[in-house]
Amino acid sequence: MGATVISGRGIGFPEHITFFGLTFRGIEQVILWVLDDATSARIANRLNLELDLLKPFQGLSFCLPIDHAEGVDPDAIAAHIRARHSATTGDDS
């Protein structure tokens, strides 16, 4: 499974003031995955927990449906996910 990481800059979040009056806005990352529905919901929920995204100004995770994508083989992605699941759990289902 792969991901695309893009540098980003948020809007609407307050600036974080540090020492000596210098302002630090932080480095923000946008991570994009193409996943099936169940996996995407599980990852979004885990990101919320691990990164405290439910607290104000921590960031957000969300899922969007993809109706069409070029260069992506959904069957190959599903087979890869099943193989990884089977290898880590010993479950072939």
Q: pLDDT by residue (tens digit) across 21-71?
A: 666 566 677 888 888 888 888 888 888 888 888 887 777 788 888 887 777
* Domain boundaries, given as residue ranges, for the chain: 4-89
What is the reported pLDDT for 45? 87
Least Cα distance to 30 among 12, 6, 48 occurs for 6
Inter-residue contact 15 to 25 (CB < 8 Å) = yes
pLDDT band of residue 78 (cuts 50, 70, 90) is confident
77 CB burial (10 A radius; 0-12, 13-18, 19+)? middle
Dihedral sign for Cα atoms in the order 52, 6, 2, 75: positive
pLDDT band of residue 2 (cuts 50, 70, 90) is low
Question: What predicted TM-score, i.e. pTM, was given to this entire model?
Answer: 0.52
